[in-house]
Amino acid sequence: AGRIYRGVGAAGVERVGLTRDEAVARLDERATAYTERPVPVRAARGVAEWAVVPADLGVRLDPAAAVDAAFAAGRGGNPVRNALAWSGALVGLGDHDVPVPATLDGTALEATVRAWAPDVTYWPTNATFTVRERGELAVVPDKDGLGIDLEGGRAAFLGHAARLSGRPVELPTSPVRADITAPTLDRLKPEATAATAMSLTLRLNDREWTLESADLRAALIAYRWDRGFGVALDPARLRPFLDELAADVAQPGTNATLAPDASGRYLVTPGRDGLVLDEAVTLTAAAALLNAGGPIGVGVGGERVVPVSMRLQPPPIVAADLEPVRARVETVLETPLVVSFAGQPIRTFRRADLAPLIRLTPQPDATEKMTVTLDPAGVRALSLRLAGDFNQSVRDAEFKFLNRAVRDVVSSRDGRDVQLVPTGQALSAAILGADGALTLREGTDVLITKPQVATADKAKMVVTDLLGRGRTNYGFRDDNGAHNVENAARLLNGILVPPSETFSFNRDVGPQTAANGYKDGYGIELVDGGARTFSTVAGGVCQVSTTLFHGAFRAGLPIEDRSWHLYWVTYAESSTGMKGLDATVYDDSGIDFQFVNTSGGWLGIEATANGEDVQVSIFGQDPGWEVRIDGPEISNERKADRTPIYEKTHDVPPGQRKQQDFARDGFDSAIRRRVYAADGSLLVVNTGNGPQPMDTTFRSNYLAARSIIQIGVPANESLDGPPVVEPATDGQSAGN
């Protein structure tokens, strides 16, 4: 009692002697395994095979219901029938196998079967007319197609699942009959032959096109309609004829347009519909005539005429397509564009600026029937206008050291350069987007160049301590020579030298020209081993460079470029100088005086001239250096030839004399300078050529000089040859 009888099972498995719960557990295990493993599927005719996991079809099994049915076998109901069922199972006369109740998802099954269908199914082929060599109509037989029986497939899957079968599921197929069969066309053949025995004329107004009997038969097809079967003309077979007909009868319309009126406002002008062949109506009329032979268009003499039907065809671009474009263009033009940078407005572009840029391009085949773009050349022109308004060159701040304080002369400013390509792209996007505002981007639309010297740098300039000073007397000079000394001092006064920079007399004081304020003076040159005076603009400027040399020398600054005179100039032997401490400059020959600012701060130069003395002072922030000077050591002294040299000149009245230079001995000089840092060590600086110990010996070699006396001669007398007036005794030389 309470167990399944022998010979009674579920899904092909006997559960003899098991309790209900034991039987449910075992059957559930098999059912789960069945739904989770692929099941082979094949078409009933074996033409294709697939596999599917039952769970993917939504298969659900009820093992408990199957066990309950098996448990009930041989119990209850008719005792005689129960006994026979049970005894039959015992003696092997038959088993009682209970299927497992199964369900599935019909939608999932249909989707799966449709995915398999192309592997096995095919469409039926209708019977068709064909034309034999002699023009007679013949019938090409129909062919059945093959389809899958979806309901039969559902039953097959459910039965397979109910048995938990391991065999392939047999998916049933069924033939699909052609819609139009050969017998049907055989019955239509006499009528079709008669209908195509004559030509067919298509007429539009006074124009005609003819389809001959052979053309009609080649294009003939059969179709089913509500009253049976009829014949018609296949558009595909008539395609060349229909395309030619369509081209002949077409009356193209005109597109709607968008353009500015006389006031510049954009308006839409509507287009005009065209007329095109109504192919379907025309062929339907032809089919009606072929099937009925009736009154449709029968002409004189029995000719068959089909009217060509036309239909209106709107143009590709209609007014409704352009109205949104018009509204957009007007919005673009009515929105002023304010262009700015870093909060500073540059320029506002208004309708008059923007209207010439608008470019409208029809595109009939696109969803958007007209594009709105901007003329690239016009956009570039706007970018150039912005550049003209906004570009500026970078400018360093300029300062002067005046009254022993740093004074502003020229304020610094950033360089600004509008980049035309990215700015043009940004302009286009802002204009077409009707943004109303465009902020140019630094680094992309605008390149900013910072000045090397900014106005704010003034706060860092500590120029309060006297570092070195030179003083020489120029009271002996003539008017032009004195003027040139004072002019050079004026130009030198106030110059500031940045840290680590090199001061150049020729560059920073300026050219030694009349345009720079100098007058004619005299210089001395070596010609064929002898001295000769020559007229030169800025004669006397070397006294200022020498005086500056004294100050830089005593300040301990590295001297980068220095040349001594051919002959010793006595003005250099002053309270701040010594024998051999001079510096000549002559920019025409590239002779310069240079020093490097290694003080760590800014240097300010103060130069004054009072009619007697020229003084040059160098101020800065005291670095705490100590300058030690040894010398001069004078050697190789060479006695001067005391015989004067006489020269003619037009610079003094005839007969008068002018002592231009006087005799002095030549010699060699060596002056040693050592500079010590605040900690007492020898200072080492780097002026760009590597470490340089500040222990320098300044060596100079001076030629012996003879007196030079100039004698005035008439303006019409050549300066070549000796003067005719006997010279007087020597006087003092001014030098240069």
- CATH fold of the domain at 182-313: Ubiquitin-like (UB roll) (3.10.20)
Calculate mean pLDDT across residues 562-577.
Answer: 94
CA-nearest of 504, 670, 724 to 595 is: 504
Residue 90 pLDDT more than 60? no
Residue 156 pLDDT more than 60? yes
Name the band, by pLDDT with cuts 50, 70 and 90, for residue 533.
low
Please say whether the beta carbons of 306 and 286 come within 8 A: yes
CA 494: distance to chain centroid?
49
Going 364 to 369 to 370 to 371, the CA torsion angle's sign is negative
Q: What's residue 294's pLDDT? A: 42
Q: What's residue 532's pLDDT? A: 63
Question: Which pLDDT tens digit goes with each residue over 127-137?
Answer: 999 999 888 99
Q: Do domains 182-313 and 319-452 have the same CATH topology?
A: yes
Q: What's residue 310's pLDDT? A: 97
Question: Which pLDDT tens digit goes with each residue over 467-495?
Answer: 999 999 999 999 999 999 999 999 999 99
Amino acid at 577: G
Name the band, by pLDDT with cuts 50, 70 and 90, for residue 338.
very high
Q: What's residue 522's pLDDT? A: 75
For the chain, report the end-to-end CA distance as a whole number of angstroms: 146
Please say whether the beta carbons of 341 and 392 come within 8 A: no
Residue 1 pLDDT more than 50? no
Range in 62-71, 210-219, 360-369, 588-597 with the lowest mean pLDDT: 62-71
Name the band, by pLDDT with cuts 50, 70 and 90, for residue 303.
confident
How far apart CA 544 and CA 692 sit, in angstroms, is 27
**Beta-sheet pairing, 220-225 with 613-620:** unpaired
How far apart CA 513 and CA 518 sit, in angstroms, is 6
How far apart CA 114 and CA 106 sit, in angstroms, is 12
Question: Which pLDDT tens digit goes with each residue over 624-682?
Answer: 999 999 999 999 999 998 889 888 888 889 988 887 778 889 999 999 999 999 999 99
Domain ranges of the chain: 8-121+148-176, 182-313, 319-452, 461-712
Alpha-carbon torsion, ordered 517, 518, 519, 521, to 10 deg: 170
CATH number of 319-452: 3.10.20.800
Strands, DSSP E only, in 156-309?
169-171, 173-176, 200-204, 207-211, 220-225, 228-233, 257-260, 266-269, 274-277, 304-307
Q: What's residue 71's pLDDT? A: 75
Calculate mean pLDDT across residues 235-264.
Answer: 96
Residue 85 pLDDT more than 50? no
Residue with tokens 């002053």: 574
Question: Which pLDDT tens digit goes with each residue over 171-186?
Answer: 999 999 999 999 999 9
Going 644 to 648 to 652 to 656, the CA torsion angle's sign is positive
Question: Which pLDDT tens digit goes with each residue over 536-556?
Answer: 899 999 999 999 999 999 999
Q: What's the longest Cα–Cα distance across the chain? A: 180
Q: What's residue 91's pLDDT? A: 35
Name the band, by pLDDT with cuts 50, 70 and 90, for residue 688.
confident
Question: What crossing angle do the helices spanning 182-195 and 279-292 adopt, rounded to 10°?
Answer: 90
Q: What's residue 523's pLDDT? A: 73
Question: Which pLDDT tens digit goes with each residue over 390-437?
Answer: 999 999 999 999 999 999 999 999 999 999 999 999 999 999 999 999
How far apart CA 555 and CA 568 sit, in angstroms, is 23
Query: What is the pLDDT of the chain when averaged over all its residues?
Result: 89
The SS3 call for residue 330 is helix
Residue 210 pLDDT more than 70? yes
